């Protein structure tokens, strides 16, 4: 087991002691969401600005089942993953044939389409008020209404997701996706069906988003309309980028920073999205490359100084 | 026609600068609010209608100069994040300055009331907006098509390297294109205010539509953006007659359907 894995495990154990259980749970849920995006952004080079489509769709469908039929938790999660994957397949099918700006605009426009469906279909989704009343049914005698029990469940699912994602990016499939990121023309020339692989990355990313969406709806007991809105897509993108989209563990760090940041600015001022927007702008203008790179830069600067000190002596 | 105006501005920005401008909707909203305040400041609708979009254009100028210029070399991801953050700042800023509750704005006295066409009662102001937006689109098109500066802008869409090799300052071109796009968004917002009133969320609703228009018209295809704007506007009006709730979602569905058949958009070449 690598050092990074040990660090993640330690964080999973220590986090609930440091912050509220709900906040700790949210961090891991957001990290799962970010892992899904990072497969697209970091490994395939696809900038999707519509990840909340899959997150929200899964949250609504699974939330509906949980609310009206008190479905088994695993069934709800399974349904959510499938909904996430299927909606991602639909969106992806339209988008993967385009690249660059077009691709971004399409993922965004389709995100808006799902948003307006959720917004207008009030009998099911509750429209602007959201879909409240989602329970957390007990599983194998464990009562998930206990925040700590639910935290452990989510953290375990996160570790599982992380493991699966690591297997994916290290598999031949992962290598092909990285080849597409580096040079999709060449990948095509070598004989890979690039649009199909991009679609596959979309579907896998959508499945992860779907899982995160269901866990989110169970955490808060409600699916707010924002869960399918484009601001949410922007948030996960921001989290992944500040974590460092080039690195496998980046989304985890990003999720920590983002949830912590939004939690702390939201108590400062009611108009906290403004501060968040300022944070976006500052990061983009001055800290491109994210935390991982900032850390690496700091590290190399320290090493250099040490080396210089050594020479001086 | 308003959609065409929005789409044209966005198409110009995405085409020339090659950045995803997610602040376009916010600029639209700012245009409406600028009009509202300008009317209160100068007490004259017409003067305010001139001033408000100029204010938005100046804002665009500042944004481009301070924020977007350093990001030319960065990837789309950071440009997106920047404009998205900007859109958050602007729309939250509107709430801070003007409050979360929307306003309604009356059209000037000259344009109140409507024409009775026998079978339908058509408000004068809507007619005015239609004519006005039409003239603006025409003026922009003439500017781009017939003037030297317009030619440079169109050349900038085709090939930035070539333009800069010809000794034209590309950065100034970019700033100008962004300001012009912002101006068009601002005036579209200002014109909309007396029809739909002002609300902080008006920009976000418009943003999605503007992107649909650009996607359908073809990226950087200005004539395509105008045509797509008209098509979308008519389609929405027709759908709204029969199924009001779905009229917004239908726009996106139409886009999805068209892109299924023609992935490059209706008029796209690339």
Is the model more confident about B76 or about A158? A158
Is the model more confident about A227 or about B120? A227
pLDDT-derived band at A62 (thresholds 50, 70, 90) equals: confident
Dihedral (Cα; B64, B70, B75, B79), 10-degree rounding: -30
pLDDT-derived band at A284 (thresholds 50, 70, 90) equals: confident
| Residue from A7, A19, A8 nearest A259 by CA | A19
Query: Given CB atoms, is A284 within the 8 Å cutoff of chain B?
Result: yes
pLDDT surpassing 80 at residue A135: no
**B40-58 as b/e, with b when 16 or more CB fall inside 10 Å?**
eeeeebeebbebbbebbbe
The confidence score (pLDDT) of residue A207 equals 92
Q: Please identify every stretch of chain B with a pLDDT value under 70, giving residue numbers as ranges.
A: 1, 106-107, 109-111, 113-120, 220, 245-246, 263-270
The confidence score (pLDDT) of residue B213 equals 84
Q: Over pLDDT 90: what percentage of chain B?
A: 0
The confidence score (pLDDT) of residue B220 equals 67
The confidence score (pLDDT) of residue B269 equals 55
The confidence score (pLDDT) of residue A204 equals 92
Helical segments of chain A, H only: 3-18, 21-38, 51-69, 73-95, 100-120, 122-125, 147-170, 172-182, 184-190, 194-220, 230-243, 250-268, 272-286, 290-312
Q: Map out the domains of chain B as residue ranges.
A: 7-199
The confidence score (pLDDT) of residue A69 equals 80
Query: Given CB atoms, is B96 within the 8 Å cutoff of chain A?
Result: yes
Which residue in B66, B77, B100 has the most chain A C-beta atoms within 10 A of its own C-beta, making it the best mutation to test that interface?
A: B77
pLDDT surpassing 80 at residue A253: yes
Cα A206 from Cα A212, distance rounded (Å): 10
- Please tell me the least confidently modeled range out of A165-169, A198-202, A224-228: A224-228
- Tell me if A281 and B89 make a contact (CB, 8 A cut-off): yes
Number of Cβ pairs closer than 8 Å across A and B? 124
Tell me phi and psi for residue B198, to 5 degrees.
Answer: -115, 135
From residue B162, how far is each of A160, B155, B157, B166, B167 by CA, in Å? 52, 8, 10, 6, 9
- Average pLDDT of chain A? 81
Other residues' Cβ atoms within 10 Å of the Cβ of residue A86: 18
**A139-156 as b/e, with b when 16 or more CB fall inside 10 Å?**
eeeeebeebebbbbbbbe
pLDDT surpassing 70 at residue A301: yes
- According to DSSP, residue B267 is labeled S
- Please tell me the least confidently modeled range out of A228-237, A268-277, A286-295: A286-295
Would you call A268 exposed, middle or buried from its count of C-beta atoms within 10 A (0-12, 13-18, 19+)?
Answer: exposed
The confidence score (pLDDT) of residue A27 equals 87
The confidence score (pLDDT) of residue B265 equals 67
Least Cα separation, residue B248 to chain A (angstroms): 7
pLDDT surpassing 60 at residue A46: yes
pLDDT-derived band at A288 (thresholds 50, 70, 90) equals: low
pLDDT surpassing 60 at residue A220: yes
The confidence score (pLDDT) of residue A203 equals 92
Range A105-113 average pLDDT: 84
Most confident of A204-218, A242-256, B85-99, B141-155: A204-218
Residue B173: which H helix or E strand, with range?
A: helix B170-196
The confidence score (pLDDT) of residue A313 equals 66
- Tell me if B14 and A98 make a contact (CB, 8 A cut-off): no
The confidence score (pLDDT) of residue A223 equals 81
Q: ∠ at Cα B11 (B253, A108), nearest 5°?
A: 40
Cα B44 from Cα B40, distance rounded (Å): 8
- Tell me if B211 and A278 make a contact (CB, 8 A cut-off): no
- Tell me if B211 and A109 make a contact (CB, 8 A cut-off): yes
Which residue in A103, A108, A243, A290 has the most chain B C-beta atoms within 10 A of its own C-beta, making it the best mutation to test that interface?
A: A108
Cα A128 from Cα B199, distance rounded (Å): 16
């Amino acid at each position: 087991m690598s050092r990074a894995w040990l660090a993640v495990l330690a964080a999973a154990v220590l986090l609930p002691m440091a912050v509220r259980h709900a906040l700790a749970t949210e961090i891991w849920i957001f990290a799962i969401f970010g892992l899904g995006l990072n497969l697209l952004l970091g490994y395939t080079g696809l900038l999707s600005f519509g990840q909340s489509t899959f997150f929200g769709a899964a949250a609504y469908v699974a939330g509906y089942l949980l609310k009206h039929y008190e479905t088994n938790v695993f069934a709800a999660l399974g349904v959510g993953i499938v909904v996430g994957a299927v909606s991602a397949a639909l969106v992806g099918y339209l988008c993967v044939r385009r690249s660059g700006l077009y691709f971004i605009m399409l993922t965004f426009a389709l995100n808006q389409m799902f948003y307006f469906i959720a917004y207008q279909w009030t009998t099911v989704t509750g429209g602007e008020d959201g879909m409240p009343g989602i329970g957390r049914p007990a599983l194998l005698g464990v009562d998930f209404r206990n925040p700590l029990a639910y935290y452990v469940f989510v953290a375990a699912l996160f570790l599982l997701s992380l493991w699966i994602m690591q297997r994916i990016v290290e598999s031949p499939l992962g290598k092909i996706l990285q080849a597409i990121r580096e040079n999709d023309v060449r990948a095509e020339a070598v004989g890979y069906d690039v649009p199909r692989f991009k679609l596959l990355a979309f579907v896998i990313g959508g499945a992860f988003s779907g899982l995160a969406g269901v866990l989110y709806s169970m955490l808060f007991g409600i699916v707010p309309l924002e869960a399918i809105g484009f601001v949410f897509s922007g948030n996960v993108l921001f989290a992944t980028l500040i974590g460092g989209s080039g690195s496998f563990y980046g989304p985890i760090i990003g999720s920590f920073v983002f949830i912590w940041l939004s939690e702390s600015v939201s108590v400062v001022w009611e108009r906290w999205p403004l501060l968040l927007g300022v944070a976006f702008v500052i990061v983009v203008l001055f800290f491109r490359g994210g935390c991982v790179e900032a850390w690496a830069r700091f590290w190399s600067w320290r090493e250099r100084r040490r080396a210089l000190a050594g020479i001086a002596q | 026609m308003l959609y065409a105006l929005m789409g044209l501005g966005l198409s110009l920005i995405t085409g020339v600068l090659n950045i995803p401008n997610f602040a376009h909707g916010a600029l639209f909203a700012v245009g409406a609010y600028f009009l509202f305040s300008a009317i209160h400041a100068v007490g004259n609708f017409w003067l305010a209608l001139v001033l408000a979009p100029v204010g938005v254009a100046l804002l665009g100028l500042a944004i481009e100069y301070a924020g977007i210029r350093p990001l030319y070399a960065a990837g789309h991801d950071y440009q997106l994040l920047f404009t998205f953050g900007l859109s958050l700042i602007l729309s939250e800023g509107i709430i801070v300055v003007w409050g979360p509750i929307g306003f309604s704005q009356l059209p000037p006295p000259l344009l109140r009331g409507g024409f009775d066409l026998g079978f339908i009662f058509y408000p004068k102001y809507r007619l005015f907006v239609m004519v006005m937006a039409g003239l603006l689109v025409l003026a922009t098109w003439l500017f781009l098509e017939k003037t030297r500066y317009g030619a440079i802008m169109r050349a900038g869409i085709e090939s930035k390297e070539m333009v800069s090799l010809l000794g034209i300052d590309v950065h100034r071109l970019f700033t100008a294109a962004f300001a012009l796009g912002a101006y068009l968004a601002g005036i579209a917002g200002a014109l909309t205010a007396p029809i739909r009133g002002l609300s902080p969320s008006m920009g976000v609703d418009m943003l999605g539509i503007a992107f649909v228009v650009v996607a359908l018209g073809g990226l950087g295809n200005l004539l395509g953006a105008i045509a797509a704007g008209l098509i979308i506007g008519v389609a929405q009006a027709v759908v709204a007659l029969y199924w009001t709730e779905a009229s917004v979602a239908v726009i996106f569905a139409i886009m999805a359907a068209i892109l299924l058949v023609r992935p490059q958009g209706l008029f796209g070449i690339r």
